[in-house]
Structure 1
Amino acid sequence: MRAERDQITAVFRENLRPDAFLGSLRRLVDRVLGQLLTIHPLPAGAALAAVGGYGRGELYPYSDVDILILLPHPAQAEEEAAISDLLTAMWDLGLEPGHSVRTIEDCLAEAAADITVETALLEARWLAGSRSLMRQFSQRMRERMNPAAFIRTKKLEMQQRHTRYENTPYALEPNCKESPGGLRDLQVILWMARAAGLGRTWKQVADAGLLTSQEARQLRRAEQAFKRLRIELHLLAGRREDRVLFEHQPALAEAYGIEGAHGRRASEMLMQRYYWAAKLVTQLNNILVQNIEERMLGEEAGAPIDIDDDFVNRHGKLDIRLDDAFERKPALLLKAFLVMQQHAELSGMSVRTVRAIWHARRRIDAQFRANPVNRHMFLAILQQPRGIVHELRRMNDLGVLPAYLPPFRRIVGQMQHDLFHVYTVDQHTLMVVRNLRRFTMDEHAHEYPLCSDLIANFDRHWLLYLAALFHDIAKGRGGDHSRLGAIEVRRFARTHQLDKGDAQLVEFLVREHLLLSSVAQKQDLSDPQVIRAFAERVGTERHLTALYLLTVADIRGTSPKVWNSWKGKLLEDLYRKTLDALGGGVAPNATTLLALRKQEAASLLRLAGLRDDARDTLWRELDVGYFLRNDASDIAWHTRHLYNKVRSETPVVRARAIEGESLQFAIYAKNTPALFTQLCAWFESRRLGILDARIHTTRHGYALDSFVVLSPSGAGELRTIVSVLEHELADYLRQTGPAQSTPPANLGRASRRSRQFPVTPAIELHPDESGKSWILSLSATDRAGLLHAIARIFGEHGVTVSSAKVMTLGERVEDVFVLDGGSGTLGDSRSQLRFERELLDTLRT
């Protein structure tokens, strides 16, 4: 049997015909079962039937062999033994039976109780035994079939299945059988059509008028594509596997002959093909299921309500007056969505309207896009007070949005295996628009109060939505997608006759949409030069506000795991500092900033009841760099806890909850070369992810270090154990001591996704403008213990860290360290080369 299976697989590799492959496997198993029955016969009067996929004639390489042993009466002991022998023989041959042993009455009862059983039995195919009993069974099943009830229940079952898969065909690792838009959705259409008496094949269903010939061809092609994919998955995994797992995607792309191009992985291109096919199936499934319902269950009574010359409200759904409305007037392809926005009483579109749009979308050509009426209508959709996100999503689903914006078509279904995006580019784009819209809604004002306040005073919100539509539109082309996208939106602004100021704004937003996030998370916001340079690049308060709003919406639309409150604080800090710089004309210089910061911190300390002379016992030991790199709140907090411990012989640790799920630690101890590594090791052992570190050495040789950390379990738990963590860290530092080495870093295992699509490690090391410090930037795949491992290399090479910015993007890290320029390692080219090589080796581990 194994040799025959191998031969069938070899033939499939030659012709790539899924139906022929599945049919050959089915015939092989039919023949083997026939041979087994000569050795292990059925009980007298019984019948053997194939059910489910096997009954349908579709047997995948590692699928169960679903069989029904139909008995004329309840099984006796000796009959049960005979059946057991048959099943054991199947197992011995490597056939995994999914079996049931029932009488006809048992089958009817099970079918009445479980729609899945009823569906499997509908496809029963006689294999051996009593044909008479099989005919009785088929007759009784047909008699009990209630088509209307079957269709209702099957639709409910499908909706529940879609919910289990989060109602999207765009999962990172979709199940090609069960996910929305997969094989099961195609089968549901045929099951419903069969129950309604409309046929069993796509051709028969088309002949019955449920499908057009074009739709039948599209569904047939999609079915063949998904069948092949499922076969490839089984053969690749060597077991029953219907999930398109990360580890299988590169090999699948190779099997399909797909090669990467323009900086895109072959696996990304494979998945884009998958998503396009799943999107088509999802759309046609929605149309056809509703069509079958209308045929079987009838339409609701009641006359339609006029909307205008082209549309009516039919039972709360937007309907067209004429079947060929969009062919007669292509402009209605955009107007339909505008009408949906302007009529809140409409809950959706009728199946007739959806279907007509789906087929007429190809009328959106260059001439359509050049029509001033259509250009005006597209902008009007973005400018409506309601329904913008709903209708943009509907336009995308029906192919209208990618047809009107051809560059958008290239990002539909485009997955990004960059370890932090969990949506396709088009879905992420529409999520960003949704996030911007939520800023405008009172019911969401509590989520991001600053964003809600800013957008309330920002006129022409639609410019933000337009920028969001274009911000990633050039992804996957190779090159800088921000600059390529800016070219696209500039062209759009020109053809749609945007005002000069509006055009400049959206082009700026698309070109610079990564700027605010990068500066906030990678640069020192206490440095006046950083703020001054950023303010010069932004230019105006309106540009700054728009960029801040787009940035928050963008990060929030990337992945549920990427945003955290610390990032929110950094973005807001940069926004406010830049706003001050723009408002005052220039950012304060270092001397002015130093005076202001000391003055503000002193005021906070007086409010806390601390005398100036007590304050100065600590401040005398702190240099200018400390006051410039810490804000007044942190300076006052440090001073209140350390003014009477300036020469403490034991480490002092204080912690406080900040910004939601984050904690800030202040560590004061005699400075040692190993201290930074020891601290990283301790935070790693407590699973506290380091977000920010500021390392400072006082004039009298003490370290005053500040760490911001994030807990995997959230802030609620942390606040209750702050004092415990303070004591634990202080005890750890006392017990570790300055001379004791830290344990080696325990690098955690990378996730399945990052193992398949790793970030190529990269480091960049260069002196800063002053020549006093070095800037180390690195990117790599994130995993537990990575920062500890990096810190050990710093310690082994005698490199001192002044500050660390840790930016985690999903499963990718982009860290920036400011290193002390006095280190001999960084001043010597050979030592520097060894240092960089060891860092890269660690990042690759």
Structure 2
Amino acid sequence: MQDALNARLQALIAEARQRLADGSAALRAAYDAHPRTSTVLEGRTRLVDAEVAGLWQACGMPANAALVAVGGYGRGELFPASDVDLLVLLPGTADVETRIRLSAMVGALWDIGLEIGHAARTVDECIEAADDDITVQTSLLEARFLAGNALLFTELEERYRAALDVPTFYKAKLLEQEQRYARFDDSPYSLEPNCKDSPGGLRDLQMLGWIAQAAGLGRNWRDLARRRLITGSEASELRSVERFLQHLRIRLHYLAGRAEDRLLFDHQEKLARIMGIGASANRRASEVLMQRYYVNAKMVTQLNTILLQNYGTVIFPGRGAAIVINPRFQAVRELLDIRHEDIFERQPSALLECFLLLQQRSELKGMTARTLRALWINRNRINAAFRADPAHHALFLQILQQKRGIVHAFRRLNEYGILSRYLPAWRRIVGQMQHDLFHAYTVDQHILTVLRNIRRFTMGEHAHEYPLMTRLIQVFDRHWLLYIAALFHDIAKGRGGDHSRLGMIDARDFCVLHGLDDEDTELVVWLVGQHLIMSHFAQKEDISDPEVIQRFTDIVGSERRLVALYLLTHADIRGTGPKVWNGWKGRLLEDLFFAAQRLLRGATPQQALGMDDRLEDARRLLRYHGLRPGVEERLWSELDAVYFMRHSAEEIAWHTRVLYFRPDSDEPVVKARVTEDEDGVQVMVFTPDQRELFVRLTGFFSRLGFTILDAKVHTTRHGHALDSFILQDPGGEARYRDVITLIEHELTAYLARPDALDRPSRGRMSRHVKHFPITPQVSIRADEAGRHYILSLTAADRPGLLFDVAEILANHGIRLLTAKIATLGERVEDTFLLSGATLAQDAQLLRIERELLQRLQV
């Protein structure tokens, strides 16, 4: 029977595949000519219905079985590359013949070009599966009869409805949404959001529809408006944002040629062009498109919150009486509620007071739907007169000074459009993308993340993560000033010009308007203007040089400023994205902080670097490890002051333990260990100096797939190289303890072969860099003392980049003393300290810069 069935289907499959292809092409042409979502969503549903029903008949499926569309297909919304979810409803256990026919039908559906998801169950099995799995329960909610036994389908519907526990369903969907939000960092504002599953995406709207259907509240937005669960204007807004997101997903599927719901950089510019969105004077078309997306996603999250609360009021009626808080507000079911519908009209200050109350009363979990609606409707009452009112200034400062809820308050202020009305400069950064390839969020979300990071420094539960920051902020008087600096540090992004300088103007205006005294105003304004300076010195300057520490300290000027800048810088770098911060950057900042602190407390530049203390600490560590006094002297006599300034006491002790008994070794000595934070590998290389050693080492590490975060190159008085590196796996997949022996063995053998040279592949260009290219920049200049030269370069990151730089320098006889490798997402900002006679010749200098630029081109 199976052979005969398959033979009969083969002729039908070819015809069905052609009809499906022709129909899909016709739908796309019709959509391109007149873009209406129904053209695709309903049109493709009808097209698939016909082919599915036809194959059901052709396969001779039993008359007492039923074919049912579920999920999005059941809802009648098939996007161009959506799966087709089917339920084969059986009256009882399937016999062998039914299983053969079902298998043939599913195979035929795949053969004609449909992505099929299917299940074959009895009614009892459906009810049992729905009881165990909220996903099955949801898909059955939208079940639609296609073919076969209609009575069996009716039985399923009736039993499903009878078994549906609406309160349990409601709670399960809320939990499901929370879990989905957590996967996407609780934000719709990532630079490459998922227009279906990210917060503010289509899934949020679909969830509202599912709960409404389950509770019998309606099947569309108009039904919800008729039941007064939303207003007529909100129903229109929901339909508008739904259409926008549907158009976006339809275009994405057509553009990618497959099921793709992520707004990847690869697609954003093309999508903008297809959707008729052009570039503006200061922004790419893709940035205009994405800002429009964020505005719509924000609307979805707001209306999602309002509707879910209104659903809860219907599903759980009469839970809790109102508790009066003051003449303007009350608490209803742990939510803040307005006592009068027109309270924001009569007393506009309540627009800020409601956020303050949420901070002050821990029992409140949010606002009622009518409060949120009134807040949104009346947000435009925050005008110039509102912003000039001293009472409102006091309220805003109170929000900043509360002991709890600061981050939640500012996220809500931003989400509900209050912050952009109160701080007009904020309006320009809402949803503004940052195409610098290391910020993972829009400007407004980055700022709020920095605010969150500073807030965490004050909280005991995070002290184990940030022990030094917690200690510093606990004794920092009026630490809420740091919140103001965080709010303004990037507020001028995208205006053109130096955003730090422009932000200083906005910060000063705010501080003066809000009555801050001169000292506090100057601190905030200085922090905004200098918020990048500490990371610059730590990552690009030689902070083992006393003159560098002195220059930095001269800029800072006071210990209060130093502490404030350190806290802000730490929070800022951590707030750019999950891949930017690492323990090495933290250690550089900490070293710079303590050196500057000692200098500000009266130490000399030499004392600030702690040379004497460092040597004493190193000796103490050697004694701890059982080495007798004096064993270090033979090795240390071959090392100069520069070595001891550039290495920590712990590193000096480690090198000494490995080398004290063989300071003249003719054989290469390689030692590796996991870094203290277990986020990388530290490698020490000791060998008689040789030509192009640094080039060879960078080639070796690149071949193993490691990125060099830090390199310290030193030559002893008796001609040995003592180099140390910090390595990291850029993919984050390496088990560092497992590679230590490999590095030690292979690198030792490699160095024993003087002619060996690992020349790494240049690697593939990142897709991010492809769409947002970085123009390489190279600068070589003498340091202030005129003894050495500093090479600064900026370029797109790729494998083998450091090898290329090292090779060019070696070819010109230039000696590399230190390398600081700052990788910021897809962007590198590297700094090298160099020496060599060639660098004093202008013509040679230009030639070196030109060669570097040519090699850095992606």
Residue 810 of structure 2 aligns with an amino acid whose one-letter code is: G
Q: Offset at 1:111?
A: 3.9
Per-residue deviation, 1:550? 0.6
Residue 515, structure 1, aligned to residue 515, structure 2: no
User: Is 1:404 matched with 2:422?
Assistant: yes
- C-alpha contact 1:671 1:703 (8 A) present in aligned 2: yes
Q: Tell me if the contact between 2:302 and 2:416 (Cα under 8 Å) persists in the aligned partners.
A: yes
3-state SS, counterpart of residue 736 of structure 1: coil
| Residue 343, structure 1, aligned to residue 343, structure 2 | no
Alpha-carbon distance, 1:744 to partner: 0.8
1:762 aligned residue: 777
Question: 2 CA distance for matches of 1:751 and 1:165?
Answer: 22
Residue 839 of structure 1 corresponds to which residue in structure 2? 852
Aligned counterpart for 1:799 among listed residues 808, 811, 814: 814
Counterparts in 2 of 1:90-109, with a 5 A limit? 90-102=109-121, 104-109=123-128
Tell me the SS of whatever aligns to 2:72. Answer: helix
Give the Cα–Cα distance (whole angstroms) in 1 for the partners of residues 23 and 613 of structure 2.
Answer: 86
Asked if the contact 1:268/1:417 (under 8 Å) is kept, the reply is no
**2: CA distance between counterparts of 1:243 and 1:221?**
21
* Residue 775 (str. 1) matches residue 790 (str. 2): yes
- The partner residue of 1:531 within 530, 540, 549 is 549
Deviation at 1:536, TM superposition (A): 2.0
Larger mean CA deviation between 639-648 and 8-17 belongs to 639-648
CA displacement, residues 254-281 of structure 1 (integer Å, 9 cap, x when unaligned): 3234445566544344333222222221
Pairs within 5 Å for 1:737-756: 737=754, 740-756=755-771
Report the equivalent of 2:828. 813
Match of 2:6 in 1: none
**Measured at CA, do residues 162 and 703 of structure 1 come closer, stay the same or move farther in structure 2, by a change above 3 Å?**
closer
Tell me, in whole angstroms, the C-alpha distance in 1 between the residues paired with 2:690 and 2:175.
66
Which amino acid is the alignment partner of residue 476 of structure 1? Answer: G
- What do residues 357-388 of structure 1 show as CA deviations (whole Å, max 9, x unaligned)? 23322322222212211111101111112221
Quote how far apart the aligned CAs of 1:200 are: 1.0
2:40 corresponds in structure 1 to: 21
Q: Which amino acid aligns with 2:478?
A: R
What secondary structure does 2:837 align onto? coil
The alignment yields a C-alpha RMSD, in angstroms, of 3.5
Q: What code does the residue aligned with 1:350 have? A: T
Separation in 2, partners of 1:654, 1:47:
70
The alpha-carbon deviation at position 633 of structure 1 amounts to 6.7
AA aligned to 2:266 is: E
Q: Which moved more, 1:569-578 or 1:677-686?
A: 677-686
* Letter matched to residue 28 of structure 1: L
8 A contact 1:764–1:776 mirrored in 2: yes
The residue number in structure 2 matching 1:489 is 507
Question: In the alignment, does 2:565 pair up with 1:547?
Answer: yes
1:116 aligns with 2:130: no
Q: C-alpha separation between the residues in 2 aligned to 1:834 and 1:743?
A: 26
1:682-734 deviation per Cα after TM superposition (whole angstroms, max 9, x unaligned): 3334555422223233454333333344467999976798788556544432x
Distance 1:607 1:286 in 2: 58
Look up the match of 1:790: 805
Cα separation, partners in 2 of 1:43 and 1:579, compared to 1, 3 Å? same
> CA 1:50–1:527 in 2, change beyond 3 Å: closer, same or farther?
same
Whether 2:78 is the aligned partner of 1:59: answer: yes
> What whole-Å deviation, never above 9, does each CA across 1:566-585 have from its counterpart, x for those lacking one?
2122112212222233333x
Q: Which residue of 1 aligns with 2:9?
A: none
Query: 2:447 maps to what in 1?
Result: 429
Partners of 1:110 and 1:633 in 2: how far apart? 60
* CA distance in structure 2 between the partners assigned to 1:638 and 1:75 by the alignment: 73
Map of 1:438-837 to 2, 5 A cutoff? 438-584=456-602, 588=605, 597=611, 601=615, 605=619, 626=643, 645-653=662-670, 659-661=676-678, 664-710=682-728, 729-733=747-751, 735-737=752-754, 740-823=755-838, 827=841, 829=843, 832=845, 835-837=848-850
Structure 1 residue 654, shift from structure 2 partner = 5.2
Q: How has the CA–CA distance of structure 1 residues 313 and 822 changed in structure 2, closer, same or farther, with 3 Å as cutoff?
A: same
SS in 1 for 2:205: helix
Is residue 9 from structure 1 mapped to residue 28 from structure 2 by the alignment? yes
Relative to 1, partners in 2 of residues 1:235 and 1:431: Cα closer, same or farther, differing over 3 Å?
same
Match of 1:381 in 2: 399
TM-score normalised by structure 2 residue count: 0.88
Letter paired with 1:270:
L
Alignment of 1:148-159 (within 5 A): 148-159=167-178
Match of 1:368 in 2: 386
Q: 1:710 to 1:164 in 2, by over 3 A?
A: closer
Q: Residue deviations 1:626-649, cap 9 Å, x none?
A: 566556776676667656655432
Unaligned 5+ residue runs, structure 2? 1-18
Closer/same/farther in 2, CA of residues 70 and 386 from structure 1, 3 Å limit = closer
Q: 1:637 to 1:83 in 2, by over 3 A?
A: closer
CA separation of 1:340 and 1:510: change in aligned 2, threshold 3 A: same
Name the structure 2 match of 1:192: 211
Q: Is the 8 A contact 2:447 2:486 kept in 1?
A: yes
* Cα shift at 1:816: 0.7
The AA in structure 2 aligned to 1:423 is Y
Cα pair 2:618 2:652 within 8 Å, conserved:
no
- Of the structure 1 ranges 783-792 and 427-436, higher mean CA displacement relative to structure 2 is found in 783-792
Give 5+ residue unaligned stretches, structure 1: none
- Report which stretch shifted further, 481-490 or 237-246: 237-246
SS for the counterpart of 1:823 is helix
Cα displacement (A) at 1:459: 0.9
Displacement of 1:391 after TM fit? 1.5
Return closer, same or farther for 1:141/1:549 CA change in 2, 3 Å cut-off: closer
Cα distance change on mapping 1:54 and 1:725 into 2, 3 Å: closer
Equivalent in the alignment of 2:8: none
Contact 2:40 2:80 in 1 (8 A): no
Q: Kindly provide the amino acid, as one letter, of the partner of residue 660 in structure 1.
A: D
Read off the aligned partner of 2:239 and give its amino acid letter. Answer: R
Match of 1:295 among 303, 314, 334: 314
Q: For 1:599 and 1:77, how far apart are their aligned partners in 2?
A: 84
Tell me how far 1:399 sits from its aligned partner: 2.2
* TM-fit CA distance, 1:334: 0.6
Measured in 1, the distance between the counterparts of 2:658 and 2:132 equals: 69
Range with bigger deviation, 221-230 or 166-175: 166-175
* 2:217 counterpart letter in structure 1: L
Equivalent runs, 1:28-177 vs 2, <5 Å: 28-33=47-52, 43-44=62-63, 47-70=66-89, 77-78=96-97, 81-102=100-121, 104-129=123-148, 135=154, 137-177=156-196
Alpha-carbon distance in 2 for matches of 1:492, 1:811: 35
1:600: how far off? 6.4
Distance in 1 (CA, whole Å) between partners of 2:732 and 2:245 is 41
- Residue 246, structure 1, aligned to residue 261, structure 2: no
CA 1:403–1:732 in 2, change beyond 3 Å: closer, same or farther? Answer: same
Are 1:660 and 1:715, in contact at CA under 8 Å, matched by a contact in 2?
A: no
* Partner secondary structure for residue 310 of structure 2: helix
How many residues end up aligned between the 2 structures?
835
Contact 2:716–2:722 under 8 Å retained in 1: yes
Call closer, same or farther: CA 1:369–1:755 in 2, change over 3 Å: same
Letter of the structure 1 residue corresponding to residue 615 of structure 2: A
Structure 1 CA distance for aligned equivalents of residues 210 and 702 of structure 2: 54
Q: Secondary structure at the match of 1:693?
A: strand
Q: Distance in 2 between matches of 1:16 and 1:466?
A: 46
Q: CA, structure 1 residues 238+689, in 2 after alignment: closer, same or farther (shift >3 Å)?
A: closer
After TM superposition, the score normalised by the length of structure 1 is 0.89
Structure 2 CA distance, aligned partners of 1:647 and 1:511? 51
Query: What is the deviation of 1:314?
Result: 2.8
Asked whether the 8 Å contact 2:760–2:799 carries over to 1, the reply is: no
- Specify whether residues 365 and 19 from structure 1 end up closer, same or farther in structure 2 by C-alpha distance, changes over 3 A only: farther
> Relative to structure 1, is the Cα distance of residues 136 and 771 closer, same or farther in structure 2, using a 3 angstrom cutoff?
same
Pairwise CA distance, 1:499: 1.2
